[in-house]
């Protein structure tokens, strides 16, 4: 499935949609849209080979957790298309990017805009932290660091079955603080899992603030290479560089693309909030109004009509 819009256009659409949603809902994961809009737009619009969605454009309500008594349970992976040998699979490892991922599904025609109205509403499957049953999700990744291991296991299994489709893990750089990430890279390298690749949003941010102030991770590209991956570093907002990085040969090794991003790209007003960008809440109605005018102008749209509180 290919969208007729350009990836640049979709990235802009993601930022606008996440901005509008956050304005209306008194805050949100704005910074993740700034850093990752091009990456998610790239994955869905050209980087991945995905089939047509197999789930309804308007997501169904939460229908229970997996259990022996819930035989009709389905994950949200159907928004990424069917599980067929030729198609790629995607894991969104940082599940708190869900709002950005949902916006991407809408911008690429895989989910109706109405889906976002259900975001974080009780009884909805469009959860704030993406769950297995949330649109575009296939597994729980809210506990950071487990995504790459899952992708490695699936990729190894698919390779053994002779499937052509690749497995991609969208990651966040905070995950390199977790030991499991390194266990996953060494295992993927040891077993030559080269149908696995990761695109990592390296925005140098984590929940407590700038990563260097929380826990220095040093030169992660060198570390990834030392653990056996092919690693390419790019500007996360340069789509040509992203295309080139995706084409990097990595026979017998996993590929990890470090997309160095700005957590305020396209929403410069957020620089005033640096380095506390993980979840942006408005400190006052005045700040909300200023942010609305400033960011809307930068995104080339009218300020969002806000309900009075």
Tokens, residue 200: 């990592």
Angle formed by the axes of helices 179-190 and 147-160, nearest 10°: 20
Rounded distance, CA 109 to CA 5, Å? 10
# binding residues, other proteins (CB under 8 A): 34
Closest CA to 262 of 94, 46, 39: 39
Contacting residue, 29, 156, 197, 224, with other proteins by CB under 8 A: 156
Task: Decide if residue 171 touches other proteins (CB under 8 A).
Answer: no
Task: Decide if residue 306 touches other proteins (CB under 8 A).
Answer: no
Compare residues 10 and 184 and give the one whose CB is closer to other proteins.
184
User: How would DSSP label each residue in 153-217?
Assistant: HHHHHHHHTT----EEEEEEGGGGGSHHHHHHHHHHHHTT-TTEEEEEEE-SEETTEEHHHH---
- Kindly indicate which of the ranges 28-36, 142-150, 233-241, 258-266 contains the residues binding other proteins, using the contact rule CB under 8 A: 142-150
Task: Decide if residue 27 touches other proteins (CB under 8 A).
Answer: no
Compare residues 28 and 147 and give the one whose CB is closer to other proteins.
147
Task: Decide if residue 160 touches other proteins (CB under 8 A).
Answer: yes
Tokens, residue 195: 């149908």
- Kindly indicate which of the ranges 2-10, 27-35, 156-164, 273-281 contains the residues binding other proteins, using the contact rule CB under 8 A: 156-164
Rounded distance, CA 212 to CA 219, Å? 12
Task: Decide if residue 189 touches other proteins (CB under 8 A).
Answer: no
Ramachandran region, residue 235 (left: φ > 0; alpha: ψ -120 to 50; beta: rest): beta
Task: Decide if residue 86 touches other proteins (CB under 8 A).
Answer: no
Binding mask 122-141 for other proteins (x = CB under 8 A): ----------x-----xxxx
Q: Closest approach of Cβ 257 to other proteins, in Å? A: 20
Task: Decide if residue 191 touches other proteins (CB under 8 A).
Answer: yes
Rounded distance, CA 119 to CA 134, Å? 10
- State the virtual CA torsion across 217, 222, 227, 230 in degrees, nearest 10: 130
Task: Decide if residue 176 touches other proteins (CB under 8 A).
Answer: no
- Kindly indicate which of the ranges 31-39, 181-189, 204-212, 264-272 contains the residues binding other proteins, using the contact rule CB under 8 A: 181-189
Task: Decide if residue 66 touches other proteins (CB under 8 A).
Answer: yes
Compare residues 66 and 82 and give the one whose CB is closer to other proteins.
66
CA dihedral for 6, 8, 12, 14, sign (positive or negative):
positive
- Kindly indicate which of the ranges 37-45, 120-128, 144-152, 238-246 contains the residues binding other proteins, using the contact rule CB under 8 A: 144-152
Report H helices in the chain: 7-24, 30-42, 98-107, 114-117, 147-160, 179-190, 211-214, 220-226, 239-246, 285-299
Task: Decide if residue 68 touches other proteins (CB under 8 A).
Answer: yes
Task: Decide if residue 180 touches other proteins (CB under 8 A).
Answer: yes
Q: Closest approach of Cβ 201 to other proteins, in Å? A: 20
Nearest 5°: CA angle at 146, between 270 and 213?
Answer: 40
Closest CA to 237 of 15, 27, 81, 64: 15
Task: Decide if residue 154 touches other proteins (CB under 8 A).
Answer: yes
Query: Which residues are near other proteins by CB under 8 A?
Result: 65-68, 75, 132, 138-143, 145-146, 149-158, 160-161, 179-180, 183-184, 186-187, 190-191
């Amino acid at each position: 499935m290919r969208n007729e819009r350009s990836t640049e256009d979709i990235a802009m659409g993601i930022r606008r949609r996440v901005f509008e949603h956050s304005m209306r809902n008194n805050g949100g994961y704005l910074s993740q849209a700034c850093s990752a809009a091009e990456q998610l737009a790239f994955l869905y619009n050209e980087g991945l080979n995905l089939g047509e969605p197999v789930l309804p454009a308007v997501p169904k309500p939460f229908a229970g957790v997996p259990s022996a008594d819930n035989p009709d349970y389905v994950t949200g992976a159907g928004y990424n298309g069917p599980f067929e040998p030729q198609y790629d699979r995607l894991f969104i490892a940082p599940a708190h990017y869900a709002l950005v991922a949902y916006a991407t599904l809408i911008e690429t025609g895989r989910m109706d805009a109405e889906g976002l109205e259900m975001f974080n509403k009780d009884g909805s499957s469009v959860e704030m932290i993406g769950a297995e049953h949330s649109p575009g999700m296939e597994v729980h990744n809210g506990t950071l660091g487990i995504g790459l291991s899952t992708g490695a296991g699936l990729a190894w299994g698919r390779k053994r079955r002779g499937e052509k489709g690749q497995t991609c893990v969208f990651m966040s750089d905070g995950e390199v603080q977790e030991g499991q990430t390194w266990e996953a890279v060494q295992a993927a390298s040891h077993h030559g899992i080269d149908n696995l690749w990761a695109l990592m949003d390296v925005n140098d941010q984590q929940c407590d603030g700038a990563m260097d102030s929380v826990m220095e991770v040093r030169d992660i590209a060198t570390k990834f290479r030392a653990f056996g991956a092919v690693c390419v570093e790019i500007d996360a907002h340069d789509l040509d560089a992203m295309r080139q990085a995706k084409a990097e040969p990595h026979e017998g090794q996993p590929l990890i693309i470090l997309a160095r991003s700005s957590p305020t790209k396209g929403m410069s007003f957020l620089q005033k909030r640096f380095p506390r960008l993980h979840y942006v809440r408005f400190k006052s109605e005045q700040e909300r109004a200023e942010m609305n005018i400033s960011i809307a102008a930068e995104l080339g749209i009218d300020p969002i009509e806000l309900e009075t509180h």
